Each structure stands twice: as C-alpha cells, then as structure tokens.
Structure 1
Amino acid sequence: ELLDSAALDKFICGALRSLRVDGVLIVRQDLSKLNDPKKVAMLTDYFDVFRLEQGNENVGFHFYAVNEVQESVYVSAPKLAGLYLDPSQEAFSQANKWSCFNPVQDFLDRTQYTDTGIFAYEWIFGDNFISPGGYKQNLAILRRFGPMKTGQTMLDIGVGIGGGARQAARIAKKVGFVDIEVENMTPRFKEILLEERQRVEQNKEEFLEKFSQKEYDSLVNGWNSKLQFIADDNHNWNFFAAIKPQ
C-alpha cells in the first residue's frame, strides 16, 4: 500500500540487495481505486530519496521515469504507474535515452549533504554553516540592518547566481519600496573562497585525520569551480536592501 512505509522500506531494501549493478527495477502500481493523484507523487519521491546504508556508503536508485500506462487486455484497463530505476552510477550515463533526469536534491543528499559532507563543511565554515563566509560573513550582513527588535520581520531570499535577487529587486521597486540599495559583494566572496581554500590546503594533514581524501578533493574542486565561475562572470553575490514607506 502507498501509505505503508514499513512495507515499502522492506520491499526497497530487498530490491537493493537483490539487484546487480546496472539492474533495473520496474514497479507497477494499480491505481484504479486511487482517487488522490498526490499519493502517486509521494511514492515516486519515496523511491527517489530512499537510501540504504551498506558499510560507509549510501546505496539507492537513480530515478528514470513514471508513466501512466494501460493494463493488459485481460482486465478492464485500470491505470498503472511504472517506475524505472537503476542503482548503478554507470547506467545513468544513458539517461538521455530515457528522457530522465538526476534530481539536484538527490545528488546533494548523496554527496555534499551526507553527515560526513556536512561535518567537513562545518570544519571549514563553523558550526551550523555550510556555505562560504560562514558565521562571520553572515553576521556582518545582519548588522547592516541595525539592532533587531521584537516583532520585526525579515525577508531572506536565498539565491545562486543572482537571478532571483535581481528579480526581487525589480519586484520590490514595483510594489513601492524606496531607497533600494544594491551592492555587488562578489569581490568579497572571492576573497572568502581564496582564504578558505588556502586554510584547508595549509591544514590538509589535520583535515585528513578527520575526513577522507574524497571530502578534501570535493571541497577544493568546489572552490576552484566557483572561482572560475567568478572569473567568467557567471557567479555573483549581490546584496539588496530596500525600505517600504509607511
């Protein structure tokens, strides 16, 4: 049943242990009596994020597709949902043949945002911080708003390459905000990336006592990629502040 998580866990664990590398799991679910389509999405999400710990690794599926298909001619054609999944990394290189995708969150959960990955980030950025600049840089930005008072509200917009922030600035101006302040903080974040990369490289031996070479390479390669994006003018950090008049 869709809502029986214990049964689903047991089934998925058994499938992961039974399948060979490059093996494909096809799940056919009878939806003829299901009136809530949202539950179908819940099932696909469940397979997509499920992970089984084996040794020091997380094992899971690569989501291929979900399709609504006709049943065989022997029954009165109820609808079925099919999940095509593959536990191997190599097989995913053929993804285009299936018109499928590798969810970003799934990638992050399996690589950057594992417990070990988070601990490695915190070792660099400080407790509870997993992004460049960490506590000090975040505090420097918050101080620009002045003393925070009970009852005040702050809107925090998280952005990647700045498109969302630029859109927010346009919307802010349209709805009546005034004194809009825009500051390109990319030079400062470039300094932060260089400082953090240098600190890790200079303390490589200490880092490897706590984490693996894999985490080290991932961090350094990440910094190198971001620095190259900045050099290509394809990765920017911008600070926007505006006042809504009374």
Structure 2
Amino acid sequence: MSNDTAYKPQPAKHLAVLIDADNAPALIVEGLFEEVAKYGVASVKRIYGDWTGPQLGKWKQVLLDHSIQPIQQFAYTKGKNATDSALIIDAMDLLYTRRFDGFCLVSSDSDFTRLAARLREEGLTVYGFGEEKTPKPFVSACDKFIYTEILRDQPSEPAASDKVTPEQASGNDPARKPDDRKKPQKAPVDFIAKVIDDISDDDGWVALGMVGSNINKLRTDFDPRLYGFRKLSDLIKAHPQRFELQERGATATGKVLEVRNRKKR
C-alpha cells in the first residue's frame, strides 16, 4: 500500500450567482466573476430586472460575454420592486435542488437579509456583494461580504434605481465624492490585535490563517483591500511596530505563517 500523502485538491464548490440588476452596476462584472472564482464555480449565473426599458442598457452589453442569463421581471406596480421577489423565489427553488454549496447574492438591498439567513440555515455558504452603502443587517447575514467598490477601478456608477440630481450630474454634490472611495481606509489594527490575543498560544503566536478566519466570523465585510493591501499578510507586514510575523513548519500547500501582537509581549 502506498504511503503517499501528497496534497489532493478539494472539489470546487458549486455556486449560484444571482444578481439584482436594479442595485448593481454593470462595471463590476469583470471583478465580480474573478472574485467568485476564488470561492468556487459559478454553476448558475442569473440577473433579474425589467429588460424592456433602457435603464439596464449597460448590463445588456455584457450578458453574452459572461454567459449570464437575464430573467425578465415586469414592474407591475410603480414604486414596488418585483425584481426582489423573483430573485428570492428562484433562490429557494435552487436551494431545494440540493445541487449547490453556496450562493452569491449581488445587491445593495437589505430586502435580501432574510434570504441570506435562510440559506445559511440550510448549511450553505452565502457570499454577499454590494456597495458600501449596503445596510448592515444584510452584510451581517452573509458568511462573507465583499464591497463592490474594490472590484472596480473606475469611478462609482449610480445604480439603475438611483435618481441623479443636477448637483450630482455637475459633479458638485458634496454628499457624493467618488474619489473618496479610492482612498484606503485606516486599517483596524487594534481589532486585529485583539483577535490575535484571543486565540494565540501561551507564547502569543497563532497561525495567520486562523486569524483571518476568526476576523471574518466577527466582521463579514473585513477585506484587506479596503485598507490598500492585497492580503492580510501584507497588512500585517506593514505594521512591524505592532505585529511580528514568522514562518514556521510547512504543509503540502506551503509554509505556515504565524503572527503575534508585539504590544502584548
């Protein structure tokens, strides 16, 4: 019998990607599916909206290139969003097929909060994608939430449902500054240090992967890219006065990085 213990990759997770076209700009499409690919295979890609009007024109231009299936939903009553109901019904139908490991819900609308919670109750992983204006309840209802601002390099595009005021059109609206979102936020160093202290060993060391996992459990929207770093390890390395990083041991996938809080020492 062979004693071969070579690393065997795990089967890719099958994901259903459901997009609320009324609350997601088309310019995120490239970054969106690159991000989804990190978590699994997009077995289903559907987008919901009223395709009879001109407001979704930019989405129409990219549907074929990314093999996204448009689902027509007429606005039966003015002021009521029928798109949400269609997406939720489809999500439940897909859930009961038992063919999926997770869902990607693309919207900044809090109406999907209960849907995200319901999918998680069934043991599925829920990835949320929305703008920074997304209400906190929806963000917290997901296992992982990714702000779509970090998925694009261009200035923010208002969602189809947004009303553009004359001030916004002229670029003089003080409440809307697209360039502000390009500036990295201040890294939550104290929060990261507390997570490290809570799960570290007697010497203060803990595997960096475990730190990242615990951070995501506490803050589903945590992402190093919000603070100008590609990975958590890059963020840690950028604060040598606060954190100490070392390589220890090795696994089939590479060396293990460990970190500790210098201030606790």
TM-score normalised by structure 1 residue count? 0.23
Which of 1 and 2 has greater Rg?
A: 1
After TM superposition, the score normalised by the length of structure 2 is 0.22
